[in-house]
Structure 1
Amino acid sequence: MEDRPLKPTHHSGEATLWQVDLCGHVMVDVTKWPIFSLMGPEELSSIRTACVFGSSANEAIYITNDDEVFVFGLNCSSCLGTGDSQSTIVPKKLDFFSGRKVVSLSYGSGPHILLATDDGELFAWGHNGYSQLGNGTTNQGVAPMVVSVNLLNKKVTEVACGSHHSMALTDSGEVYAWGYNNCGQVGSGSTANQPTPRRVSSCLQSKVAVSIVCGQTSSLALVDNGEVYGWGYNGNGQLGLGNNGNQLTPCRLVGLQGACVQQIVSGYAHSLALTDEGLLYAWGANTYGQLGTGNKSNLLSPVQILMEKERIVEVAACHSTHTSAAKTQSGQVYMWGQCRGQSIVLPHLTHFSCTDDVFACFATPSVMWRPLSMEHDDFLTVAQSLKREFDNPETADLKFCVDGRYIYVHKAVLKIRCEHFRSMFQSHWNEDMKEVIEIDQFSYPVYRSFLGFLYTDTVELPPEDAIGLLDLATSYCENRLKRLCQHIIKRGITVENAFSLLSAAVRYDAEDLEEFCFKFCVNHLTEVTQTAAFWQIDGNLLKDFICRASRCGAFKN
């Protein structure tokens, strides 16, 4: 295994690693986790994904831009997978994973590690006292090993770990579980430990799971129709079943009836769910206020947590902590539960820009609730420079007039970034007569967002204006902008605007958005049909919707 030296950081312009992606995750500095603070700018700049874990947040695994896997830290139970039990402050390369691309990573409390690669293979190492590595033994795994029993010809896409049990999700929506099973957390119908992966069936047999999470000794699965199923330990009500009896096989959370869940997370003994309407539900243990209800009483069934009436877009928790966090549509981040020893019983507004910072700074231990995706950012990039010059009259050589207001741009940038403008600014273009271009077919917010997108690759618009931008993107054949508009609309969909958004998706031939809006309307059919938007829609679209909804069984008794 190759060692990677750590270089001390002495200069003010040190590298910073940020989390950022198309789905809107805001940036986070990985050096907020102390274990990474010894790494210098060269090492930090090479990292693409990182995960901090362990009972004291003293172990870390990271993946470089070249798909190399490195580990360092205390190495409890050989959880670093280096082939021995030696601690290391110098990152060591796991040659075993050279040339493999990691798609999912999770850790247990032992600790043990599960890792899935893009070809669907599953690997495990670390603590194995309860067969949580899935190899049929209880021998500690000092190096990564393939988990293959009952998974041959299966493609694993997601992994999850509890304290000493493990789960895997396949691309066909099947859930497998193994390891410690004293409370039924493997879902096999008994309390005997499960030494190898076994499919979790029962009422999940005909369901397509899309996400899996673990509490310490409990398990949850989210299926494609927005239903949530739970099994395992339930002494604190963390399964949300309305009682505190353990559940040996999956059982649907009837307390979420009528809600279409999009995201689930589990803490040590509590759970959170986020619906497609941006509503937050919580249940389970509440000793530290981790449910956000304002008191410390456990809840056996899901209850809605009010967050200043603003839509929630992300919730966060992990089985190692009693901490909860959430992010709103406007980018505000709240935390509650156990925060540096204090019990915060109501969601508390922070100055953070992402939920990950909550766990870096306030959780005990300060582990990561999910692996972080990174990109290097220690200087003003081309993209940042372009963003700074957008709508700057001092450097612009062209301006658009929309609704009587000017937007200042640079012809060269528009020609480089957009085929529409490249065609417009051909050699016959009379530059002396065209210092101002009048636009009357789009509104000022829409057109300014479009031009801003050409400079920044990002869009900031409410869903209603994003419809207009979707129209523009369709007209100008800007496919990526079209996708971003659809993403904004999906996050902003409500009962009141759902049918209008469905109509727009049909009008602009956005098939993915159309399917999303249709499912939302069906999931909330009663409320949607009572809105003004539903009855103002074109008759043909209304007929098509009713026929399609009928075929989906929406009108069955």
Structure 2
Amino acid sequence: MKFNIDKCKVQGVKMTNIHDIAKWPIFSLLDESFFNVIKFACVFGSSGNEAIFVTKEDDVYSLGNNHNSCLGQGDVQSSLHPRKIECLCKKGVVDMAFGSGPHVVAVTGDGQIYSWGHNGYCQLGNGCTNSGLSPKLISNTGNLGSCKVTQIACGSHHTLALTEMGEMYAWGYNNCGQVGTGATANINTPRKVASVLAGKKVVSIACGQTFSLALTQHGEIYGWGYNGNGQLGLGNNVNQPSPCRVSSIQNTVVSQIVCGYAHALALSDTGVLFAWGANSYGQLGIGNKANLATATPIASDIGRFIEVAATHYNHVSTAMGENGTVYMWGQCRGQSITLPMETRFTSVDDVFACFASPAATWRPVTFENFLGRRALEKSLLKAFDDPETSDLKFLVEGKHIHVHKAILKIRCEHFRTMFQSHWGESGKDVIEISQFSYPVYHAFLHYLYTDKVELSPENAIGLLDLANSYCEMHLKRMCERIIKQGICVENAAMLMAAAIKYEAVELEDFCFKFSMNHLTAVVQTEAFQKLDEFTVKTLIKNAAQWGAFKY
């Protein structure tokens, strides 16, 4: 495999996790008391006119048109004001998916599945074709048994479920083989999808209207179902009732897959974006409207991508570049955009809220209430490192950073302790910092004012160390995300060593898997040569358990 080292050089990644609730019209009449308690929400329906959200108190609400009883209220009554879905409250709902049929499926933290809505094609998996007015438990139905489900996905009238063991189950409409049973009869209870996937661990699933995709732990894609537009990426237009390897992506480890109405997108672990399938609205981003039956790299002139998004509800594609820039293409508010177009959004989710038809979420989105807060944000940003208003300076590597004690005390437990009267730092106007670099400490203080981080993966390692030392768990997660998004062959060994040092277990596992997928190239890098003996031994031991060495 060949690598373009220049493309592995990552500039600063702008980290923000803000999804403005005001961008989704369905929430425009919500009482302000809801704004700060929404944990995550899904928007769906033929016009983006139905929504379900889960609060931080673990209550579940729905509002909107209630087509086919998809609000889960046990009735057919529509409402512009939220009503509780009583049977889901306090159940620990962590994920939801919806089909355009329509039907809705929810999964709880302990891996149980609930379904409701239209059921004319058995898509609820409850053993019959009667529509569900309210959520019913289906985890113990059919062959799924007591398996713990970790991810769900819906097509128009079929459903997929992924278990913690990496096994996949499917049910519902199967006229094109989208359930993956090898036949075309509808399936009314969860049935295991095996065939060529037997013995392979699936880590991600996605559904188009009438086709399905699965991603294995080794970065391989498998597709099945309707293929009239080449959406299975097999090089032909023949429907497939059983999973088939998308072999048009060679010598590439895929890290993310998504499905549109009749097209698919995949992102490699080195940031290369692939597209295939229907292209009547330019949703493949190749500059024309010709369908593609094989996976094709796109937008290489833009550089590395870190996230890609699409939903079976519409013909829109969107992706985020390594610097945080969001691009969109496809059917955007009635216009056909055939090449990725740069936007001013800070989240791919906002593209679906503002330009998709219908405006449906491609995943459950987390909201933060920023109504009335934008002016405050601007004021805080202006106050950061402002010598005219500050009452404290940090001296780092000979440079001053001007801050305000009150803000630091409000935002950080470390500073609340530091500025107590019996501490020496409490009365100082200048505090010298020697254990962290200027870019790292400046980024940390900037984060306290803005809740954002702009750093390269290399500097994010230092900030990860600081977050670990100061017990800033949210900041630590942001640093881990920056590092994941910026990993490449040249820095993988260094990033894994840092993850081991700072006891970031999830990050260490991510870096290890990336290194295993590119082992030949990684061990030849300068970063690998600089690894200490303990890290090398740890890598060798884990690689052996992974199966990298053969007898």
TM-score range normalised by the length of the shorter chain: 0.7 to 0.9
1:460 alignment partner, SS class? strand
Shift of 1:192: 0.8
Distance 1:438 1:35 in 2: 50
2:120 corresponds, among 101, 108, 129, to: 129
Shift of 1:414: 5.3
Are positions 1:498 and 2:492 aligned together? yes
1:375 alignment partner, SS class? coil
**CA deviations over 1:310-331 (Å, ceiling 9, x no partner):** 3212111111111101112222
Are positions 1:112 and 2:103 aligned together? yes
Q: Which has the higher contact order (CA 8 A, sep 6+)?
A: 2
Distance 1:295 1:522, change over 3 A: same
Distance 1:247 1:518, change over 3 A: same
Are positions 1:304 and 2:303 aligned together? no
Matches within 5 A, 1:252-267: 252-267=245-260
Distance 1:24 1:263, change over 3 A: farther
Shift of 1:458: 4.3
Distance 2:474 2:351 in 1: 32
Other-structure match for 1:488: 482
The farther-off stretch of 148-157 and 546-555 is: 546-555
The farther-off stretch of 495-504 and 478-487 is: 478-487
Distance 2:504 2:124 in 1: 44
Are positions 1:38 and 2:21 aligned together? no
2:87 alignment partner, SS class? helix
Matches within 5 A, 1:56-75: 56-75=47-66
- Give 1:443's aligned amino acid: S
Other-structure match for 1:158: 151
Are positions 1:188 and 2:177 aligned together? no
Distance 1:399 1:173, change over 3 A: same
**CA deviations over 1:215-235 (Å, ceiling 9, x no partner):** 011111222332222111112
Shift of 1:440: 4.3
- Give 1:58's aligned amino acid: N
The answer to whether the 8 Å contact 1:164/1:179 transfers is yes
- Provide TM-score, normalisation by structure 1: 0.87
Distance 1:34 1:478, change over 3 A: closer
**CA deviations over 1:264-302 (Å, ceiling 9, x no partner):** 110011011122222211111111111111122222221
The farther-off stretch of 241-250 and 345-354 is: 241-250
Distance 1:216 1:25, change over 3 A: farther
**CA deviations over 1:206-263 (Å, ceiling 9, x no partner):** 2232222110111112223322221111121211223222221222222333322222
Distance 2:326 2:452 in 1: 21
Are positions 1:224 and 2:212 aligned together? no
Distance 1:36 1:529, change over 3 A: same
Are positions 1:333 and 2:326 aligned together? yes
- Give 1:279's aligned amino acid: V
The answer to whether the 8 Å contact 1:185/1:248 transfers is yes
**CA deviations over 1:17-44 (Å, ceiling 9, x no partner):** xxxxxx9553233333333333343454
Other-structure match for 1:445: 439
Distance 1:24 1:228, change over 3 A: farther
Which ranges of structure 1 fall in alignment gaps of 5 or more residues? 1-22
1:354 corresponds, among 330, 347, 366, to: 347
1:241 alignment partner, SS class? coil
Other-structure match for 2:4: none
1:236 corresponds, among 217, 229, 236, to: 229
Other-structure match for 2:400: 406
1:357 alignment partner, SS class? helix
- Give 1:31's aligned amino acid: A
1:534 alignment partner, SS class? helix
Distance 1:431 1:40, change over 3 A: closer
**CA deviations over 1:363-420 (Å, ceiling 9, x no partner):** 2222222222223333459995866644333343331222332112345665673548
Are positions 1:427 and 2:418 aligned together? no
Matched residue count: 534
**CA deviations over 1:468-492 (Å, ceiling 9, x no partner):** 3344455666665444433322211
The answer to whether the 8 Å contact 2:256/2:308 transfers is yes
Matches within 5 A, 1:85-96: 85-96=76-87
- Give 2:82's aligned amino acid: P
Shift of 1:197: 0.9
Distance 2:101 2:296 in 1: 32
Other-structure match for 2:368: 375
